[in-house]
Structure 1
Amino acid sequence: MQTYRPNEFAKLIAKTTNTLQRWDREGILKAHRSPTNRRFYTHDQLSEILGVKASKRIALSYCRVSSHGQKDDLRTQQRAVADFCIHAGIAIDEAVTEIGGGLNLKRKQFVRIMALVESRAIHTLVIAHKDRLARFGMDWFEHFLEQHDCKLVVINNEALSPESEMVQDLMAIVHCFSCRLYGLRDYKKLIKEAVIHENPDSV
């Protein structure tokens, strides 16, 4: 039986460990206890929280845009995915939409979907373009889905992946590394000043 530590379980259901502790006290979701009195949760509890029926696995579609200003793009994406599924004979049990950046891997619905995949509740995941799921690291996510018997269907329609999002994500990456670079320079400056302070004769 697969078990999870409280911090692992909290991440899978997009809650905090404080929430789990409160649920435990209030009897909403009682934690199991090890012989050393450490709390843990089971796979069955994960399935229960996620609303997964052990006897049924589902097909799920996922559509995403980065900002609220792209709601028209989101509707277009939804229609394209729905039409594709109809023509491909894929019966979708749940159509999930989300607004959030492709670099953000803490998106609420994204985290929920990964938890459902891990619990083997999804047999098929349909997306319009690979970057709708995640901007980078798709090789790992594809491997993760495969290891949990979830088929990934990618329409691969580049028109459903706004170029403006790519520009925004690239700018965010450049900004992040620029800040780190400047921080590193400041750090080197502080080290140099500390060395001079400790060894004034070295100047």
Structure 2
Amino acid sequence: MGQLVPIGVAAKELGVHPDTLRRWEVEGRIEAPERTAGGRRRYDLAKLHHLAPRTSISARSTIAYARVSSNGQKDDLVRQVALLESFCATNGWAYEVISDVGSGLNYHKRGLKALVSRICSGEVGRLVLSHKDRLLRFGSELVFSLCEHFGVEVIIINASEDSTFEEDLANDVIEIVTVFSARLYGSRSDENKQVMERLQEVAKELSP
């Protein structure tokens, strides 16, 4: 029998979240761990070695990702980047910042595509975000699943700052209106422009 360690130590060694080890246990991907008298899991690192990524998290890149929806929010982008840089530097990580200006509904942003490509190539060990929705408005869980699969640690600095349902709804409406207004404004239809301007006004009124 190899070294027995707590779930947190085993998860860190593999570069995954502790919940991932629990799920692998339920799925039968790993053997059920030993248990202490108090019922706490103890993992045999020797039996988990084959699940470890080819390189440790510390040997791979730390990527900090920032995004805003429009050019009018460039100041917010600067603040996001400053927060990410300060957080990474405080933790002593060598890091790179990838930033995008575009809707959270747009899956084709250059920075996002580069980020996903690098995650899938196995060169990213840690992804740092200021908020979950900076990655995508919808579908961020898909990227997080990729991170889990490739052993990427995800850190959300302000994960505890949960928004209310009303705030989420208002933000979603604003994102949708922004996307469609950009498309309709190019049609040269004065009627379309008037409709989208009114929708934007309503969206702003909904915003807390």
TM-score (norm 2): 0.50
Match of 1:169 in 2: 172
Cα deviation, 1:29-49, whole Å, max 9, x if unaligned, reads xxxxxxxxxxxxxxxxxxxxx
Give the drift of 1:175: 10
- Are the equivalent residues in 1 in contact too, given 2:105–2:138 (CA < 8 A)? yes
Match of 1:49 in 2: none
Match of 1:152 in 2: 154
Match of 1:76 in 2: 79
TM-score (norm 1): 0.51
Q: How does 1:86-101 map to 2 (within 5 A)?
A: 86-92=89-95, 94-101=96-103
Larger radius of gyration: 1
In 2: Cα distance, 1:175 partner to 1:79 partner:
26
Cα deviation, 1:108-160, whole Å, max 9, x if unaligned, reads 1101110110111111111111101111222222111110111111112688x
In 2: Cα distance, 1:173 partner to 1:70 partner:
16
Q: 1:133 aligns with which of 132, 135, 143?
A: 135
Q: Which amino acid aligns with 2:112?
A: F
- Are the equivalent residues in 2 in contact too, given 1:62–1:127 (CA < 8 A)? yes
Match of 2:184 in 1: none
Query: Cα RMSD between the aligned structures?
Result: 3.4
In 2: Cα distance, 1:91 partner to 1:57 partner:
10
Q: Provide the secondary structure at the position in 2 that maps to 1:71.
A: helix
State the identity as a percent: 34
Match of 1:13 in 2: none
In the alignment, does 2:120 pair up with 1:118?
yes
Query: Which stretches in structure 1 are left out of the alignment for 5+ residues?
Result: 1-53, 177-203
In 1: Cα distance, 2:99 partner to 2:127 partner:
13
Give the drift of 1:66: 0.5
Q: 1:66 aligns with which of 69, 72, 80?
A: 69
- Are the equivalent residues in 1 in contact too, given 2:118–2:124 (CA < 8 A)? yes
Give the drift of 1:165: 9.2
Query: Which stretches in structure 2 are left out of the alignment for 5+ residues?
Result: 1-54, 180-208
Cα deviation, 1:142-187, whole Å, max 9, x if unaligned, reads 111110111111112688x9x99973532555899xxxxxxxxxxx
